[in-house]
Each structure stands twice: as structure tokens, then as C-alpha cells.
Amino acid sequence: MPKLSFSRRPEHKLRRRIAAATVLVLLGALLAGYLILRGTDNDVHKGNEVEFVPKPPPKPVEEKSYDWRYYHRDLAHTGQLPVRLSPPFRRKWVFGGKVLMEFPPIIAGKTIYFVRNNGGTYALDSRTGRVRWKKRIGTESASSPAYADGRIFMTSLAGGATPGKVVALRARDGKVLWQMPLSSRSESSPIVHKGVLYLGSESGTLYALWARTGRVKWTFKASGSLKASPALSGNTLYIGDYSGRMYAVWARTGSQRWASGTSGRTFGLASGNFYSTPAVGFGRVYAGNTDSRVYSFSAATGELAWSKSTGGYVYSSPAVANVEGAGPSVYIGSYDGNLYALDARTGSVRWTAHAGGRISGGPTVVGRIVYFADLDSTSTYGVGVNTGTLLFHRDRGAYNPVVSDGRRIYLTGYSSITALEPVSGKKKRGQSARR
């Protein structure tokens, strides 16, 4: 007698359909909640509800030389130098070459330090452009060095036998003092504070190293790659990762203070990648994201205060400044070809300035002018902080625009540095802003 069999397929199909329907309902609820949280225009507008600490505009100081020791000048990466320095400019010197300089130089005393993308490291006399020394620290680099206590620190994407490394050089002659191999590549521009060196890596590791020896003090593990430079404000480090999360980490211990996604801490969703180096100011953390938005988080809690959509990727690192007459503002570029001046409290647009192409690097504020460069026309522009009116243009540039020591601006071209000094007296009044 043949065995009888009972098919369970209809029951299985019914269960699968019920499960699928349940999943769809849950996803719909999550999506609805997400859209409600983000607002009808897909941006968050809580700037007036989240703590904001405005500070009075710093007073410009004349005839004084300033250091620019880190990427975007200071530990908080504000990208601002409050001096009286404005166009028109005349060329003082040009240092040329053929290898890309994706990241800008730094300045310490009367010396400019920078790294080309092939790992070539240079020290130039800021007055003449002459080479003081040069050194090859790896085979591939994409970051700015840092200066502290007579030493230069830099990271490498490829260090020969290792996938990446961090190197300390003696500033006066380029002698290698120590180098530490990393488990992954790094294009994170380092910072140094109180004898401790901080940097990120593509493995998602945030490092704290003793600057004198290179020994590890602590490490912190993020959910995604850390491409940006950490920003330090008070006793806290801030950095975003490639999973779309922003972190606040206690600088002394490496323990997490808070983590926030691009939808805020409560909902926890994240989108895009944080390549943009964050800037800290006014009690907030600001950064761009590849989801086309600019974000503002509370520095104390991680609460998302606002987001602002642009028309393209935002790899650019913001500059934050409160220049007299302009108010607390965030200046940041987008791949949509616009430089945005945003109200630092609310994220509303003060003005936009259109470039010749995609803006990838971080703008800088020197005096009352915002400088930025674009990839497509390979030009550098300077616009007024109040209105975005064009005041400066040079046919050199690509990624990051200018740094300054208060006496000159140093323009970063695709593979060159150009020193420009202000024209004085009668010539200054008659020169074109496009010189």
C-alpha cells in the first residue's frame, strides 16, 4: 500500500505571506516615523530648541604672525583667522611641482610644511618659498601634517610594508624620530594636545598616541571607516565615520560620550558617509555628509539641531566663524557647485556663491573673506562673509583653498603653493580683485 503524504506548502505560503506583510507594515511605520522626524522637506529644523552658545566676534589684530598648525588651523577645525588681510594681492613666490597636493599646508613660525600625495614631505621658508628640507615618508598620502613642540606628525595611506603608518619628524631638519605602523590606511589629518596625538584610520580605529614616543595610550572603535580629522573642544574629541554616525569621545580615556546618527540619537538611523572633518563652535558640531546634507549636533548631548540639504555630495569640511556684521555662520561647499553660508543656529541659508564646478575641500575664513576652490575650473575664489560677493579669483586651485600667517595667504593649487601678499598704498586701491 502506498504511503500517504500531506503537503504543507499552502500553510507555509500563508505563513510567509503573513510574515512578509508584517515586515512591510513595520517598515512602513519606520519610514513614516523617519519622515515625520526629518520633516516634510527631509531636513531637521530644531536649531532654536538645541543649546547654542554664541560668542562675540574676535577682534582682528594687525602686524602679527599667526601659526596654522593643523588642518583647518586649530584643534576645533574652525578654519578661521581673524586678521585684517584682504585683496588685492600680488605674488610673492610660487613653489611648483607635478604631484597632487590634495590637502593644504600648515604653518609654524616662518616655515610651511606639507605632504604631496606620493608621500613627499616638504618644509619651505614662508618668506622665500625655498626648500628647507624634504623627506619621503611613504608611497601615498592624503592629509595635512600637524605641528607641536618642534615636531611634525603625519599619516600615510601606504607605508611600504604596512598598509598605513603615522610618522613623527623633527621640524628643523626632517629627521625621523619615530614611526608606528597601522593595521589599516589612514588619511586622517592628526592633531596634538598636551603631548597626545589623535588620528583616525580606515579600520574605524581612533588612536590616541603619546606624541614623544608613538606608544598607544588608548584606541576607540567606530562602526565605520574614519577618514576625517578628529576635532577637539574642551575635553572631548568629535569625529564622524563612514557608517553615517558622529561620535563624541572623552579625550583622556577614549570612552564614548555619545554617538548620533544623521536622524539624531533618539531614532538612531544613519545615512551617507562622514568624510567631512567636523568643526566645533557655538556649542555645536558641524559636518557635511555624502547624503548631500550639512548637519549640526549639540556638542554636549549629540542631539541633532538641524540638517540642510544641498544638491550634491558634501565632502567639504565646514568653517565656522562669527565675523562682525555677519553673525555666527557655517561656510561649506557642495558638489552642486555652491558655497553655502548658513546660520549656525538654525541652518537657514544666508547666501550662496556659485563656483565653476564641484567644491570638495574645506573653505577657510581669513579676515572678512571666505576662500574656497573647485575641482572643475581648478580655481580659487574669495567672497565677502556678509554677502558672498566675489572679491578674489585665481586660476589655481582644486581641493582646499588658502592658509595664512596673518601677513600673507598661501594658495594651494593642484600641485603648487603660491604666496600672495597684500598690495599697499595707492596700488592697493587701484588693483583688480581678480589679480
Strands 89-95 and 417-422: antiparallel
- The model carries a pTM of 0.87
Query: Where are the chain's structural domains?
Result: 51-430
Query: If you write DSSP's letter for every residue of 68-132 in order, what string do you get?
Result: B-BTTBSTT---EE-B---S-EEEEEEE--SS---S--EEETTEEEEE-TTSEEEEEETTT--EE
Asked whether 367 and 86 are in contact (CB, 8 A), the reply is: yes
Q: C-alpha cell of 135? A: 623627506
Nearby residues of 434 by Cβ (< 8 Å), 6 or more positions away: 392, 393
Longest dimension (CA), the chain: 114
pLDDT band for 18, please (50, 70, 90 cuts): very low
DSSP letter for 244, please: S
pLDDT band for 129, please (50, 70, 90 cuts): very high
Asked whether 69 and 106 are in contact (CB, 8 A), the reply is: yes
For residue 66, count other CB atoms closer than 10 A to its CB.
17
Which of 104, 124, 112 lies closest to 67 in space, CA to CA? 112
Question: How far from chain centre, in Å, is Cα 430?
Answer: 36
Between residues 252 and 25, which one has the greater pLDDT?
252
pLDDT tens digits, one per residue of 364-415: 999 999 999 999 999 999 999 999 999 999 999 999 999 999 999 999 999 9
Read off the pLDDT of each residue in 140-163 and give the average, rounded to a whole number.
89
Between residues 233 and 267, which one has the greater pLDDT?
233
What is the rounded average pLDDT for all residues in the chain?
88
Q: What is the chain's percent helix, strand, coil content, to nearest 5?
A: 10, 40, 50
Q: What angle do CA 219, 220, 222 make, to 5 degrees?
A: 145
Flag whether pLDDT at 39 surpasses 70. Answer: no
Asked if the bond preceding 87 is cis, omega within 30° of 0, the reply is: no
pLDDT band for 42, please (50, 70, 90 cuts): confident
Read off the pLDDT of each residue in 195-214 and give the average, rounded to a whole number.
98
pLDDT band for 41, please (50, 70, 90 cuts): low
What gap in Å lies between CA 91 and CA 16, rounded to an integer?
Answer: 72
pLDDT band for 185, please (50, 70, 90 cuts): very high
| 51-430 CATH | 2.130.10.10
Between residues 35 and 223, which one has the greater pLDDT?
223
Q: C-alpha cell of 293? A: 546634507
